[in-house]
Structure 1
Amino acid sequence: MPDWHFREVHRVPVKGPTADVMRAVHATTWREAPLARALVALTRADVSAGRRIVPDYLSTMGEVVPCPEDEFLFVGAQSPGDTPRPPGTVLEIVTGCQEPGILKVAMNVRYARGVLSTETRILATDERTRRAFAPYWYLIRAGSGLTRRSMLAAIRRRAQRETRSR
């Protein structure tokens, strides 16, 4: 999503081959990120200790998009309030829908040039939806940031263990 109304980016340096780091992205569990687990548990989401953070949890919020080997990307579409969700797949809605009342979400986890990052972008299809979503975004942003940093730290620890064991 080249355009957005709300954006959050977090980064941590990680040493290791892309394959090791991305293997850690796909394998890190909630048990390894206790702060993230505690914060997300407040939403009543399933954060069982053995459940993987990125492929199991994040992908429940949208549709996983095929990407190069250095990235995990998912997109989501929400129609808050009484707006009916438009027809089509989530990816079709995110890439093509312009109907008012829709929030488009893209979130990735990427490893490039020694940096593991996560970025979230949210685009409202109209000004009313953007204004209605803004208070929620500002309310959850600090907790979301702590969650992301905890998640990235857990992935980094796993990736570095994986690299040392080779």
Structure 2
Amino acid sequence: MKEIEMTGEDQSELDRLVPEWHFREIHRIPVSGTVDEVMRAVYATTWAEAPLARALVAITRADVSAERRIVSDYLRESGEVIPSGSEEFLFAGVQSTEDIPRPPGTISEIVRECAEPGILKIGMNVRYAAGILSTETRIFATDDRTRRRFAPYWLFIRCGSGATRKSMLRAIRGRVVREAAGA
């Protein structure tokens, strides 16, 4: 299990939501623009702008219609969007590897507080800071059995997940560039 120890401006809302994790994926890309310009693009970018991401996510039979926005539509339907600062989109999700009822509470409460076995606590962000647009996913298993059961799946999806995230980041950067050029 890994843990982040940051304070002050370096700390993201994801650090507060999921400070410990068993599985983690980070992707970064430089982007020129203001926080407002970049975050506006984060919320506006559609699946049509990220064809590789669209193709990979379509395998899951999710609705990746060309006009649907990746963050604003798709992710909001997949879990809970947590209000965060102007430079970060924050998402929380909960999954079970067992046939157990979901613990009571909102998804973000479960991610922050639940210790019941059989639960995967998921946090994901899209953040723009110091000229870098990044996305990070952290997954914490509440017990060793759940962690061991999830590990093969994580190894299987990791490559496709990374390609999806990189495609999404390039699409957001492309939108920022087009909007700055007035296109």
Which secondary structure does the structure 1 equivalent of 2:21 belong to? coil
User: Which residue, 112, 118, 130 being the options, matches 2:129?
Assistant: 112
The question of 1:143 aligning with 2:130 is answered no
Q: How does 1:1-166 map to 2 (within 5 A)?
A: 1-165=18-182
Structure 1: gaps of 5 or more residues: none
How many Å apart are 1:161 and its aligned residue? 1.5
Q: Deviations over 1:87-107 (max 9, x none)?
A: 111011001110000000000
How many Å apart are 1:82 and its aligned residue? 1.0
How many Å apart are 1:132 and its aligned residue? 0.3
What is the alpha-carbon distance in structure 1 between the residues aligned to residue 142 and residue 107 of structure 2?
14
What is the alpha-carbon distance in structure 1 between the residues aligned to residue 100 and residue 143 of structure 2?
12
CA RMSD of aligned residues (A): 1.0
How many Å apart are 1:163 and its aligned residue? 2.2
How many Å apart are 1:53 and its aligned residue? 0.4
Contact (CA 8 Å) 2:97, 2:149: kept in 1 or not?
A: no
Contact (CA 8 Å) 1:17, 1:163: kept in 2 or not?
A: no
AA aligned to 2:114 is C
What is the alpha-carbon distance in structure 2 between the residues aligned to residue 3 and residue 83 of structure 1?
23
How many Å apart are 1:80 and its aligned residue? 2.1
How many Å apart are 1:59 and its aligned residue? 1.9
What is the alpha-carbon distance in structure 2 between the residues aligned to residue 68 and residue 160 of structure 1?
23
Which secondary structure does the structure 2 equivalent of 1:88 belong to? coil
* Structure 1 residue runs of 4 or more that deviate by more than 2 Å after TM superposition: 163-166
How many Å apart are 1:156 and its aligned residue? 0.2
What is the alpha-carbon distance in structure 1 between the residues aligned to residue 115 and residue 98 of structure 2?
17
What is the alpha-carbon distance in structure 1 between the residues aligned to residue 165 and residue 137 of structure 2?
10
How many Å apart are 1:72 and its aligned residue? 0.4
What is the alpha-carbon distance in structure 2 between the residues aligned to residue 52 and residue 164 of structure 1?
21
Tell me how many residue pairs correspond in the alignment. 166
What is the alpha-carbon distance in structure 1 between the residues aligned to residue 177 and residue 35 of structure 2?
11
AA aligned to 1:54 is V
TM-score normalized by structure 1? 0.97
TM-score normalized by structure 2? 0.89
Structure 2: gaps of 5 or more residues: 1-17
How many Å apart are 1:81 and its aligned residue? 2.3
Which secondary structure does the structure 1 equivalent of 2:138 belong to? strand
Which secondary structure does the structure 1 equivalent of 2:91 belong to? strand
